[in-house]
Structures are given as structure tokens and as C-alpha cells.
Amino acid sequence: MFTLSVDAPAAGAARLRLAGHLDQPAARQVLHAAADVVKCGCLRLVVDLEEVVSYDEEAAYAVTGCARLARWLPEGVAVVPGDGAGADLAERAGVATHEHRTAGSMASCPAC
């Protein structure tokens, strides 16, 4: 089972928290949510993979697609891989990663 939650870890940022099994339908859901972040004017996107437990090989394109949105976000995209499947997924997607979740309160972001 896959769940996606969106919150705002800092002013102007949106975080997509992915949990469970990332398959192709879930990957489309992630890409749509990431596109909404861009459309709504957020400055930064954080893609949190720490709770991903498994994924389909074809679904790695969702993480790659999110990372490519960096050109439209003034403060870019941060991918937080966590350990295990999230780290494997980030490596397969070939994206730069960040060590820790973006800490902070639920500050407002137009996308959230």
C-alpha cells in the first residue's frame, strides 16, 4: 500500500512524504503532486523517501521527474533517501540526495 502526504516544512517549501510501495500508479500520483508544487509557486520541494519500503523498477522515473523540476523552483529540489528501499530508489533514479529531513514547523506554502 502506498501513501503520499504533503506538508510544509518551512516557509515557501513543500514536502512530499512517500510511504509504502511505490508502483506505477503511485508514481503518477507523486508526479502530479510535484507539478502542483511548481504551479502553486513554492520555492522548494523536498521529496522524502525515508518511509518507502519497496518500489517497482519502472517507478524510479517519479523521483527523477521530481528532481528535474528543480529548474522551475528557485530553491530547488531536495531528495531525502533515508535507508533501505528509499536509498536504493534514489540511487537507481540517479539523483543527488540530502542526509536529513527538512526540519521545521508547518509554515504556510500555497501548494499545501
List the CATH code of the domain at 2-93.
3.30.750.24
* pTM for this entry: 0.86
User: Is the pLDDT score of 63 beyond 60?
Assistant: yes
20-43 pLDDT, tens digit each = 999 999 999 999 999 999 998 999
- Cα–Cα distance measured from residue 41 to residue 63, given in angstroms and rounded to the nearest whole number: 20
pLDDT at residue 106, rounded to an integer: 38
Q: What is the 3-state secondary structure (H, E, C) of 34-82?
A: HHHHHHCCCCEEEEEEEEEEEECHHHHHHHHHHHHHHHHCCCCEEEECC
- Cα–Cα distance measured from residue 9 to residue 81, given in angstroms and rounded to the nearest whole number: 16
pLDDT at residue 100, rounded to an integer: 55
